């Protein structure tokens, strides 16, 4: 996630190149409600998935779905969509010298690029796979942005004490991981990407490629809320 950067995150490519966009498509699967006991979504916003494609001179190409929203408050909509545009630029911008193919990806069957609309938040999840020519294997990257749906402000640093939060989240993620991939602990992980869901703080735990690149884990609010800044907790949890 832009803002909080704990550990090392995968950097694919950054700056320049040709971008093209088709008309946004309403994403019915993305209309998840988050961060409210009443489970009421922020009014007026509709999740969409905007198809983007482009190329660079070194042969790098991309064709991905970018989470966006339509409707709702004009300034908030522009802020959220702009943050997701910036993520795409970071993922596709800098020539690698030997070309790269970047495309949509998934984590399991449920995790894919999408917009999550909560009572007080708009969250965007971008999941892509990048494969460089001659590389041993492709790599998955997960990037997120969480915005206050009333103000358009990016929630970049949610934790009161990031160092303490990192240690606690590592322990909670290992305990909550049902796949067993974090059984040995999550000390090697980086918690760079997260979104709020009704049941808790949903984090994408970065792991070595052999373990799948990322392990999604949801930390229940009764365990995660105490790590948050009071003003952030009011927005995410209520």
The alpha carbon dihedral of 85, 87, 92, 93 has a sign of positive
pLDDT digits (tens, 9 = 90+) for 198-226: 999 999 999 889 899 999 999 999 999 99
Contact 35, 224 (CB under 8 A): no
pLDDT digits (tens, 9 = 90+) for 75-123: 999 999 999 999 999 998 876 667 889 999 999 888 999 999 999 999 9
Domain total for the chain? 1
Mean pLDDT of 159-182: 91
Residue 13 lies in a domain: no
CATH of the domain at 176: 3.30.565.40
Entry pTM: 0.84
Structure tokens at 83: 């943050």
Residue 5 lies in a domain: no
pLDDT of residue 134: 81
Mean pLDDT of 152-164: 94
Residue numbers of the domain that contains 227: 18-236
Radius of gyration of the chain (CA): 17
Closest CA to 6 of 221, 153, 186, 148: 186
pLDDT range class, residue 25, cuts 50, 70, 90 = low
């Amino acid at each position: 996630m832009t803002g909080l950067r704990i550990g090392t995150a995968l950097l694919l490519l950054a700056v320049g190149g040709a971008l093209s966009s088709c008309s946004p498509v309403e994403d019915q699967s993305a209309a998840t409600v988050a961060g409210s006991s009443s489970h009421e979504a922020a009014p007026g916003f509709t999740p969409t998935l905007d198809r983007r494609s482009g190329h660079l001179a070194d042969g790098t190409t991309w064709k991905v779905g970018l989470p966006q929203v339509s409707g709702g408050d004009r300034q908030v909509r522009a802020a959220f969509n702009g943050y997701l545009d910036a993520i795409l630029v970071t993922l596709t911008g800098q020539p690698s010298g030997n070309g790269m193919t970047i495309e949509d990806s998934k984590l399991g069957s449920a995790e894919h690029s999408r917009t999550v609309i909560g009572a007080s938040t708009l969250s965007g999840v971008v999941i892509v796979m990048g494969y460089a020519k001659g590389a041993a294997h492709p790599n998955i990257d997960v990037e997120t942005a969480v915005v206050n749906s009333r103000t358009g402000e990016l929630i970049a640093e949610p934790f009161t004490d990031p160092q303490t939060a990192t240690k606690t989240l590592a322990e909670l993620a290992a305990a909550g991981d049902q796949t067993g991939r974090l059984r040995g602990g999550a000390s090697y992980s980086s918690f760079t990407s997260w979104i709020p869901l009704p049941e808790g703080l949903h984090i994408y735990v970065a792991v070595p490629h052999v373990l799948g690149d990322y392990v999604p884990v949801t930390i229940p609010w009764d365990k995660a809320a105490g790590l948050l800044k009071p003003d952030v907790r009011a927005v995410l949890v209520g």
